[in-house]
Chain A
Amino acid sequence: MENGVDVTEARPGGADRSVLCALGASAGGLAPVEEFFDAIPPDTGMSFVLVQHLSPDHESMMGALLESHTEMPILQAVDDTQLEPDHVYLIPPGAEISVAGGRMQVRDRKLDRRDLHRPIDTFFTSMAADFGPAAIAIVLSGTGSDGTAGIERVRRAGGLTLVQDSSAAFEGMPDAALRSGFVDASMSPSDIADACVVYRETGRRPVSQGHDDVALTPADAELVGLLEEATGISFSEYKPGTMRRRIERRVTLADMPDTASYLVGARDNTVELEELTRDLLIDVTGFFRDTEMFDLLEHEILPQLVLEAASANDPIRVWVAGCSTGQEAYSIAMLLLEAVESLHGSRPTVQIFATDIHDGSLRHATEGRYSADDMAEVSEARRSRFFDELSTSWRVKPELRSVITFAQHNLLADAPFTRVDLVTCRNVMIYFQPSAQDRALGAMNFALRPGGAMVLGSSEALGPIEIDYETVSSTWRIYRKKVDAVARSLRAGQMGARLRVPVRTPAFAADQRLLRTYDALLEAHFASGLLLNERRELVHTIGGATGWLRQPTGRPTLDALSMVTDANLRLALGATLRELETGSDRTEPRFVVPTENDGRAQAMLIGETIRVGSATHYLLFTREVEEPLELPPTPRSAGVAPEDTEYTLQLEAELLYTRESLQAALEEQETSNEELNAANEELIASNEELQSTNEELSSVNEELRTLNDEHHIRLDQVLELSADLEQLMSSTEIGVVFLAEDRSIRRFNEPARDYFRVREGDVSRPFEDIVSRLSYAQLDEDINSVFNGEGAQVQTVSHADDRARRLVVRVDRYELPRDRWGVFIAVVDVTDVVVAEEERALASLLLASPLVVGIWDEDDQLLYRNRSVLAGELPVPFDPEEPQPVPLALMDETISIAAERARNEGATVVGFQRAADRDAAAEGFDEYLFILHPFDLVGQRLVGAIAVPATHVAEMIEARAREMFSRAIVGHDRLSIVTFDRNGDPIEASGIEGTGDRLLDNLRRQFPEAFDDMRAAHLAAATKGVPSHLQLRGQGPDGDPAVVDLHVQPVEDSLLGAIGIGIHVADYERQLWELKDEVARLRAELIEEREQGLTRADDLAERNHDLDNFAHVAAHDLKAPIRSVRSFAELAMDELPDASPAQPHMQQVVDASMRMTSLLESLLDFASIDRQQPDKEIINLTDVVEEVTADLDSVISQRGARIIRPERFDDVRGDRAGVRQVLVNLVQNAIKYSDEEPVIELTTRVEDEGVVIVVSDNGRGFEMTEVDRLFEPFQRLHDTSVSGNGVGLAICKRIVERQDGRIWASSVPGEGSRFSIWLPDTDVER
């Protein structure tokens, strides 16, 4: 505490009362506040209050900004709430906060311009009173000096005071606080936080550093030198901090950028120097300031002192050191007068010496006039007792005034008073450097009698003289000097040094103007003269006046009169000076005869007052008398009586004159004083006003800075946000276009170009000029409705270029600042979402599917299996309830082989498996279909298996068949299914993909009336519920006539509420070809089928061939024995006699052998027909028939048969010999099976890409039930009356079929029969 500030070293409250930590911050305060809260733990138990300069019109962002820096709750202060520990309170905008009884007090800030807004001071002050040592005041960055006064209060109340060090962006506030001398330490915000915690826990204050470093700048030092010259007061003993602070204040008020500039202006400006001096010296004072202290004085100290004085019959002497404008001195005087009056018996006289170094303050004090504001603390009784009320102020009554002697006195330099009963010196020494404090204390100690009382300021201490005093009140620093105190010297060494009166040459201080004045005067008056200042000190000697002067012996002096040796001259000078001092500008010439003159040197002495600025000088000069007065001769002998007489007379006259002029001067001065006072008050008032305005301005300025800081942060946030959004806009896949109120494009992002043809240059173009790439016809309409305020429009549309892409388009309004708004169009591609949805739906379908599905990974571990209801029914271990899922490889040999294939070949393998499990087979699921499908997923080849019981396979096949059917219909371009709604308007037409609509269009174009007809047909069908039919005629797309058959089939669909109508669209020509195509296709299928059948019957064919060979060989080999039998029988008949009874028997043998031969030959014929395709040729049937009739000529003529044939037959293609054989057989049969005259008709007709040969007869015919047996070999339908062995028709069938032909028969028994042979128009080789 080398600064001498000694306050109560109380420990902070401890557990019972929480410590309140208040932070004052202004411009540039955000960063340190954040740093502070970053460093402070959230559980210190302290309450935090952040006081800022806030604009009353704006919400503060501080809460939001601080949130990220502390975990403590951050609240805006609310009136009359208890301060909670570990909470942060913020000052609300437009409010003033204080604290009382531990509760927050919030008041609206008075917006009076006179009201100085110093929220930090306000809160600190209240906190000092409420929390005392448990208060921590922290001043952070800011301009101005708010907080300085509060810091002083807090420190005096024992609290901890800390300020931000040079890290502050604006050092005004911390510096001001630091210079007050009441700051414990100056450190960085994080160190401040640590110091708070330490103080809270241990009560230890941080080791102070820094504030003694404040040094006066060279400019300051020069200014101090200047002041010392101008006022004689040395400020070198004052604390540099205080000096700097006050100098800066003046610099600011003078609107100078720095001290150096101020110095230049102030050097020639005595008024400014005076103001500065006053600022440097004046401390706050007031009547009864610190009421409690005065109570102590009134009730304990003064009565005792008065009693002691009374008993000693001494006057009671009081020294008020540093009385300033006198309020304290008057206060003590009032108390003393009252105390004395209360005494009974002898009343001691009261002598109060009120001293101050500043004569300006002293003048005020001497005048004893105070404003009503000043009088606030003076009770009504005392006012009437001790004061006279003037119009706007109060004046001290003479009674009170008379007990006080105001004197200019330098506590550090001038000799103290003696035998004083009470010394008060409050808040003076705090501005002194430590050594000066000691010296001042020494002076007061010297002045005080033993037993006397001393009152110091609350932050001042006794220091070195403490041992001689006992404490009356430590709070109010009231001490009594011990009666046995050793008298101490004044510390002469120190004092002496200070007592050195500097040889001041006022001329040094005089400015150049004055010197020029002198020069002018000297030119005007070539006379002798003296220039004196107000204190009659010699400033300048003019002309021969040097001869008047002589330094008296002893101590050198500047007093002009004491240097004038000539008595007459001195008298005249004295009278003239007095006249001038009463206000006369110029005196009448005064006749002077210097005594040491021989009478010749007579002169007229004239005085003039010269005012330059605030300085007044007196010029006394002589003018030579042209005609010397004849004076009575001066008696030279016998003493000096005549001279004495004359001298006495002269003195009397002079005295009379002096009295008169004094009276006049007094009166004059009285009035001018009044005027001056009034003017002065006005000036002070307006000055105060200016100062407060200035403070207000700098406060507003700080608010603006704070606001600006916030704006910077917000701007940063906005820029960050903007960058984030910019990034989002460009990287998102959502296409966005922003429209302004005039529907022009404000902004769009890159993805938007996929949906609208916008380019960079399109910004601010109207949106309606932009081509949309969406299939969204009413987009403009929707945008309009949004602009008309109808709310958001959301549509799902598809992309015009790729209809598979599904897009959600949202058009909506959004607010812009300043009541403006815009519209945005956002396009989101939801194709993937739709696909994903579909897949998800499929997946969930799969879960519920009756199919049993499982997925195995590369290591054959089961990854997934659904919960098919059939799982348990399948003979494979797909059962999801199975705790250990079975790998595919172990499941079943067939499946594991298939799985291996699916894995290795990447191919889908479908298989059909029979259950090995007999039990499963018994339940009906003996067969199942399995599908193994490989797919690659994240680098793995997975295998999915689907298993379906065979019963379900059948269902699946049926469903597939149905699907194939509908696909066939859809794919058909002649057959179209058109569905209509209930009104008969077509909804949809099936057809080859994409042709449905075209078909409808074609219908519309080709059959303009068709739709009306269709409607009519539809109506008929719908109302009657029966199919209707109509035929439409029109022109086809190629201009050909077109006919459409329309079959309308009503299909009631309750769900769709629609009736479907099928239309068969075809022109007949094409229809026919179509049928042919269909037949050809069917035949091709048939052939294919047969070939397949042949290949399938390969072994059968083999066997047939063998059989044929066998038949051939058997017939051949059988012939030999039969031949032998017959031959030998015939031989025997030749050799037997004709009458031999053996002859008929031998004939029987011959006949039997002959029948057997015939049978064998037929068998041989049948067997020998070549099964290979014979060579084919174009057969002229007419020639063949000619040959046949020729062959059979004998039979024909024998039976009288008639052969009817056309002139010309159609040409037949095929094996000529075969055809001939067939015809021979058929004609032979026809003749053979006729009972009467046979009539046989041969015809041909072209049919179905071939020719049909018809052989009809009028024979017996046969039952149609027998027709199947007709063409079988060795089948005879008739009795043996007709020769034949039943092979003929079989041979015919075989020959025809060998040529890919067909043979069939029909008959009406008794009427006749008809045999038809169809031979195809096959290609002929030749």
Chain B
Amino acid sequence: MTTILLIDDNGADLEIIRRAFSTVVDVRIESASSAADALEWFAAHGDPDTLVVTDLNMPGADGIAVIEQLRDLCEIPPVTLVFSTSARAVDVDRAYAAGANGYHTKPMGFHETTELCGQIASYWLGSAARPRGSTRPAEASGVA
């Protein structure tokens, strides 16, 4: 079943985004406050059907690391979107270079966030076809 994995070190942002998604779509939503927690969860429960939404700037491993490790971990990596405060081109380029499937600047209000999340859900959980193969990690013990 489809799961949305949210990764953000900022608990407020994490809550707003979770609320926004839950307002627009009825799926399981998992929250992780750090890259390590997220990867741990993914190694245990993740499947290719998971939609990963990650913040970029985080203490320790950042969003880029999350994207790269997911790609290393999985034969077919899950769809990974970046939600970042930064609108800097350099951050955008870095994210796509690492393998991100989308990049969005965090909207400044709850209504705007709900709107964005609605668009994402209708696209990625609606019209877009997502990978179906096993997203199981080739090496199960790949989690650091």
Binding site for B on A (CB under 8 A): 1112, 1116-1117, 1119-1124, 1126-1131, 1134, 1150, 1153-1154, 1157, 1164, 1168
Q: Verify if B122 is at the interface (C-beta below 8 Å from A).
A: no
Which residues of A have CB within 8 Å of B132? none
Q: Shortest beta-carbon distance, A1221 to chain B, in Å?
A: 14
Which residues of A have CB within 8 Å of B2? none
Contact: A1153 with B86, CB < 8 Å? Answer: no
Q: A1120-B10, A1157-B108 are in contact. Are A1131 and B16 (CB under 8 A)?
A: yes
Across the interface, A1120 reaches (CB within 8 A) one of B85, B88, B109, B110, namely B85
Which residues of A have CB within 8 Å of B85? 1116-1117, 1119-1120, 1123
Cα A423 to Cα B137 in complex, Å, equals: 190
Contact: A1116 with B86, CB < 8 Å? Answer: yes
Cα A646 to Cα B13 in complex, Å, equals: 228
Cα A711 to Cα B19 in complex, Å, equals: 148
Which residues of B have CB within 8 Å of A1164? 87
Contact: B86 with A1123, CB < 8 Å? Answer: no
Cα A1127 to Cα B13 in complex, Å, equals: 9
Q: A1120-B13, A1128-B12 are in contact. Are A1153 and B108 (CB under 8 A)?
A: yes
Binding site for A on B (CB under 8 A): 10, 12-13, 16, 19, 57, 85-88, 106-111, 113
Q: Shortest beta-carbon distance, A1242 to chain B, in Å?
A: 28
Which residues of A have CB within 8 Å of B113? 1127
Contact: A1154 with B12, CB < 8 Å? Answer: no
Contact: A1119 with B16, CB < 8 Å? Answer: no
Which residues of B have CB within 8 Å of A1126? 108-110
Contact: B109 with A1124, CB < 8 Å? Answer: no
Across the interface, B16 reaches (CB within 8 A) one of A1112, A1117, A1124, A1153, namely A1124
Which residues of A have CB within 8 Å of B16? 1123-1124, 1127-1128, 1131
Q: A1120-B85, A1124-B13 are in contact. Are A1131 and B108 (CB under 8 A)?
A: no
Q: Shortest beta-carbon distance, B127 to chain A, in Å?
A: 27
Contact: A1130 with B111, CB < 8 Å? Answer: yes
| B19: nearest chain-A partner, CB-CB | A1131
Q: Shortest beta-carbon distance, A1291 to chain B, in Å?
A: 16
Q: A1120-B13, A1123-B13, A1124-B13 are in contact. Are A1130 and B110 (CB under 8 A)?
A: yes
Contact: A1122 with B108, CB < 8 Å? Answer: yes
Which residues of A have CB within 8 Å of B109? 1123, 1126-1127, 1130, 1150, 1153-1154
| B55: nearest chain-A partner, CB-CB | A1120
Across the interface, B110 reaches (CB within 8 A) one of A1116, A1121, A1134, A1154, namely A1134
Contact: A1128 with B110, CB < 8 Å? Answer: yes
Cα A1164 to Cα B91 in complex, Å, equals: 15
Q: Shortest beta-carbon distance, A1131 to chain B, in Å?
A: 5
Which residues of B have CB within 8 Å of A1130? 109-111
Which 5 pairs between the two chains have the least Cβ-Cβ distance? A1127-B110, A1130-B110, A1124-B12, A1127-B16, A1126-B109
Which residues of A have CB within 8 Å of B13? 1120, 1123-1124
Cα A1164 to Cα B87 in complex, Å, equals: 10
Which residues of A have CB within 8 Å of B86? 1116
Contact: B88 with A1154, CB < 8 Å? Answer: no
Cα A1129 to Cα B112 in complex, Å, equals: 13
Across the interface, A1123 reaches (CB within 8 A) one of B19, B87, B108, namely B108
Which residues of B have CB within 8 Å of A1134? 110
Q: Shortest beta-carbon distance, B76 to chain A, in Å?
A: 33
Across the interface, A1119 reaches (CB within 8 A) one of B12, B19, B108, B111, namely B108
Cα A1112 to Cα B88 in complex, Å, equals: 10
Q: Shortest beta-carbon distance, A1114 to chain B, in Å?
A: 12
| A1157: nearest chain-B partner, CB-CB | B108
Cα A1129 to Cα B109 in complex, Å, equals: 8
| A1158: nearest chain-B partner, CB-CB | B108
Which residues of A have CB within 8 Å of B19? 1131
Which residues of B have CB within 8 Å of A1123? 13, 16, 85, 106-109
Which residues of A have CB within 8 Å of B87? 1164
Q: Shortest beta-carbon distance, A1199 to chain B, in Å?
A: 26
| A1156: nearest chain-B partner, CB-CB | B108
Cα A1128 to Cα B113 in complex, Å, equals: 11
Q: A1123-B13, A1124-B16 are in contact. Are A1131 and B88 (CB under 8 A)?
A: no
Could you give 17 example pairs across A and B, Cβ below 8 Å?
Answer: A1116-B85, A1120-B106, A1123-B16, A1123-B107, A1123-B109, A1124-B12, A1126-B108, A1127-B108, A1127-B109, A1128-B110, A1130-B109, A1131-B110, A1134-B110, A1150-B109, A1154-B108, A1154-B109, A1168-B88
Cα A1150 to Cα B106 in complex, Å, equals: 16
Q: Shortest beta-carbon distance, A563 to chain B, in Å?
A: 187
Cα A1117 to Cα B58 in complex, Å, equals: 12
| B106: nearest chain-A partner, CB-CB | A1123
| B111: nearest chain-A partner, CB-CB | A1130
Which residues of B have CB within 8 Å of A1122? 108
| From A1117, A1120, A1122, A1164, residue with most partner B Cβ within 10 Å | A1120
Q: Shortest beta-carbon distance, B63 to chain A, in Å?
A: 14
Which residues of B have CB within 8 Å of A1131? 16, 19, 110
Cα A1154 to Cα B19 in complex, Å, equals: 21
| B12: nearest chain-A partner, CB-CB | A1124
Q: Shortest beta-carbon distance, A1216 to chain B, in Å?
A: 16
Which residues of B have CB within 8 Å of A1154? 108-109
Cα A1126 to Cα B16 in complex, Å, equals: 11
| From B10, B85, B88, residue with most partner A Cβ within 10 Å | B85
Which residues of B have CB within 8 Å of A1116? 57, 85-86
Cα A890 to Cα B10 in complex, Å, equals: 73
Which residues of B have CB within 8 Å of A1124? 10, 12-13, 16
| A1126: nearest chain-B partner, CB-CB | B109
Cα A1128 to Cα B110 in complex, Å, equals: 7
| From A1116, A1157, A1168, residue with most partner B Cβ within 10 Å | A1116
Cα A27 to Cα B114 in complex, Å, equals: 156
| A1168: nearest chain-B partner, CB-CB | B88
Which residues of B have CB within 8 Å of A1150? 109
Apart from A1124-B13, A1157-B108, 19 more pairs, CB < 8 Å: A1116-B86, A1119-B106, A1120-B10, A1120-B13, A1120-B85, A1120-B106, A1121-B12, A1122-B108, A1123-B16, A1123-B108, A1123-B109, A1126-B110, A1127-B109, A1129-B110, A1130-B111, A1131-B19, A1131-B110, A1164-B87, A1168-B88
Which residues of A have CB within 8 Å of B57? 1116
Q: Shortest beta-carbon distance, B118 to chain A, in Å?
A: 15
Q: Shortest beta-carbon distance, B110 to chain A, in Å?
A: 4
Cα A1123 to Cα B111 in complex, Å, equals: 11
Cα A79 to Cα B110 in complex, Å, equals: 156
Cα A1130 to Cα B20 in complex, Å, equals: 12
Cα A1124 to Cα B85 in complex, Å, equals: 12
Q: Shortest beta-carbon distance, B111 to chain A, in Å?
A: 5
Cα A1123 to Cα B107 in complex, Å, equals: 7
Which residues of B have CB within 8 Å of A1168? 88
Cα A1168 to Cα B89 in complex, Å, equals: 10
Which residues of A have CB within 8 Å of B107? 1123
Q: Shortest beta-carbon distance, B17 to chain A, in Å?
A: 9
Q: Shortest beta-carbon distance, B18 to chain A, in Å?
A: 12
| From B106, B107, B111, residue with most partner A Cβ within 10 Å | B111
Q: Shortest beta-carbon distance, A515 to chain B, in Å?
A: 170
Q: Shortest beta-carbon distance, B109 to chain A, in Å?
A: 5
Cα A1124 to Cα B110 in complex, Å, equals: 8
Q: Shortest beta-carbon distance, A642 to chain B, in Å?
A: 213
Cα A411 to Cα B106 in complex, Å, equals: 183
Cα A1128 to Cα B15 in complex, Å, equals: 10
Which residues of A have CB within 8 Å of B110? 1126-1131, 1134
| B105: nearest chain-A partner, CB-CB | A1119
Cα A1121 to Cα B12 in complex, Å, equals: 8
| B16: nearest chain-A partner, CB-CB | A1127
Which residues of A have CB within 8 Å of B12? 1120-1121, 1124, 1127-1128
Which residues of B have CB within 8 Å of A1157? 108
Which residues of B have CB within 8 Å of A1117? 85
Cα A1129 to Cα B16 in complex, Å, equals: 11
